[in-house]
């Protein structure tokens, strides 16, 4: 996260300490709308992509929620925001993402629908450890695409909470014709079953050819999820030549050595690309833990090892690898 983001978080909580009692009083009095511009301003000073809302709480009277709205590059920002929050009390609790809530009636762009009447069908993807969904509700038949998208996402937020929605749900399709399907309780049970059996380690290997015709193998952990590593916003690449030679100098190293050393630095292995000449290991890291500097220092002692690191908060490198980048 940028230094501006850190300063924005500090400024937010300073501001909050001075105004939280007034905001709570405004909720009780029904005048919270008067606070919306100022709260929005201090939240967007952290990052312009963040959204916020207040809601009834489960352990306190009110909940303040700041959400990344599914933007992977902001998961670390909301995680830092929550880490710096004050201890909850009887008035306020804080959430980085919408928590689960009652399946009552929502109104989205003038469209009212009962959350308990949503019906679902799904396909379980054991490789990615996610469920791909089709959702239907009788009130959605004449809804606009935007209203359908918002309605389906808010339904899942209420049913599962925003964090588990990001963790366990893959594609979501809303259908506009009546069909049979499971009720929300059955969908929740399917997600819980998936969570109970998930390993977060689903490695697949694909053979392909590079642009210059070399045969390569891509091995990738399909179950590695951005939401589980909110602060791992950098992409660390460790390239190791397969035959570093036998001359005197830094010692050679095996693939297992590389993984063990990087994981000891709190780097998480995402993928490996290997050919006859070298192996290239792709890790994700939290830049605040010192793993990047330690990896660079380590590579200088190893014959045939090279390290590069770039900021990639959305983990776009994974798509590039799949496409052959």
Region 240-261: what's the mean pLDDT? Answer: 65
Q: Is 51 helix (H, G, I), strand (E, B) or coil?
A: strand
CB 220 within 8 A of CB 235: no
CB-based contacts of 89: which residues, under 8 Å, 6+ apart? 60
How buried is 132 (Cβ within 10 angstroms: 0-12 exposed, 13-18 middle, 19+ buried)?
Answer: middle
User: How far apart are the C-alpha atoms of 172 and 102, rounded to whole Å?
Assistant: 21
pLDDT, mean over the chain: 90
For the residues of 216-259, what is the DSSP string, one character each?
A: EEEEEETT--GGG-TT--EEEEEEEES---SSSSS----HHHHH
CB 216 within 8 A of CB 208: yes
Show the CA angle centred on residue 91, arms to residues 16 and 63, nearest 5°.
70
In the chain, the domains with their CATH numbers are 3-96 (no CATH), 105-197 (3.30.300), 203-322 (no CATH)
Kindly tell me if the per-residue pLDDT of 193 is higher than 50: yes
Kindly tell me if the per-residue pLDDT of 190 is higher than 70: yes
User: How far apart are the C-alpha atoms of 120 and 224, rounded to whole Å?
Assistant: 25
Q: pLDDT at position 252, please?
A: 56
User: How far apart are the C-alpha atoms of 272 and 221, rounded to whole Å?
Assistant: 9
Kindly tell me if the per-residue pLDDT of 38 is higher than 90: yes
Q: What is the dihedral of CA 43, 48, 49, 51, to 10 degrees?
A: 30
User: How far apart are the C-alpha atoms of 74 and 141, rounded to whole Å?
Assistant: 33
Q: Can you give the pTM of this predicted structure?
A: 0.88
Percent of all residues in the chain with a pLDDT value above 90, rounded to a whole number: 70
Per residue in 230-247, is it b (16+ CB within 10 Å) or e — as a string?
Answer: bbbbbbbbbbbbeebeee
CA distances from 10 to 5, 55, 65, 222 (A): 9, 23, 17, 36
pLDDT in tens, 164-176: 999 999 999 998 6
Region 33-61: what's the mean pLDDT? Answer: 96
Percent of all residues in the chain with a pLDDT value above 70, rounded to a whole number: 94
pLDDT in tens, 285-311: 999 888 899 889 888 888 888 999 999
CB 306 within 8 A of CB 315: no
CB-CB neighbours of 312 under 10 Å: 18
């Amino acid at each position: 996260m940028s230094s501006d983001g850190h300063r924005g978080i500090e400024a937010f909580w300073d501001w909050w300490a001075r105004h939280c009692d007034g905001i709570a009083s405004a909720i009780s009095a029904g005048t919270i709308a008067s606070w919306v511009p100022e709260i929005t301003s201090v939240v967007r000073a952290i990052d312009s992509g963040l959204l916020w809302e207040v809601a009834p709480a489960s352990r306190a009277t009110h909940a303040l929620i700041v959400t990344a709205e599914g933007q992977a590059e902001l998961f670390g920002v909301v995680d830092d925001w929550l880490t710096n929050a004050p201890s909850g009390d009887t008035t306020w609790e804080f959430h980085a993402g919408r928590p689960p809530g009652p399946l009552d009636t929502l109104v989205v762009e003038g469209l009212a629908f009962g959350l308990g009447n949503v019906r679902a069908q799904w396909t379980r993807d054991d490789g990615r450890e996610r469920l791909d969904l089709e959702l239907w509700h009788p009130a959605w038949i004449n809804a606009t695409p935007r209203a359908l998208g918002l309605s389906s996402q808010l339904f899942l937020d209420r049913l599962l909470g925003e964090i588990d929605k990001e963790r366990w749900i893959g594609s979501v399709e809303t259908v506009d014709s009546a069909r049979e399907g499971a009720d929300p309780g059955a969908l929740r049970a399917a997600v819980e079953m998936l969570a109970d059996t998930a390993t977060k380690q689903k490695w697949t290997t694909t053979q392909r050819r590079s642009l210059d015709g070399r045969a390569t193998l891509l091995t990738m952990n399909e179950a590695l999820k951005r939401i589980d590593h909110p602060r791992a916003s950098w992409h660390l690449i460790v390239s190791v030549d397969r035959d570093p030679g036998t001359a005197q100098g830094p010692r050679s190293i095996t693939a297992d050595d590389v993984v063990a050393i990087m994981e000891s630095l709190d780097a998480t292995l995402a993928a490996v690309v290997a050919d006859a000449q070298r192996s290239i290991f792709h890790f994700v890291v939290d830049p605040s833990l010192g793993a990047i500097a330690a990896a660079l220092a380590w590579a200088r002692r190893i014959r045939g090892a090279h390290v590069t690191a770039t900021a990639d908060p959305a983990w776009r490198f994974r798509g590039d690898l799949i496409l052959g980048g």
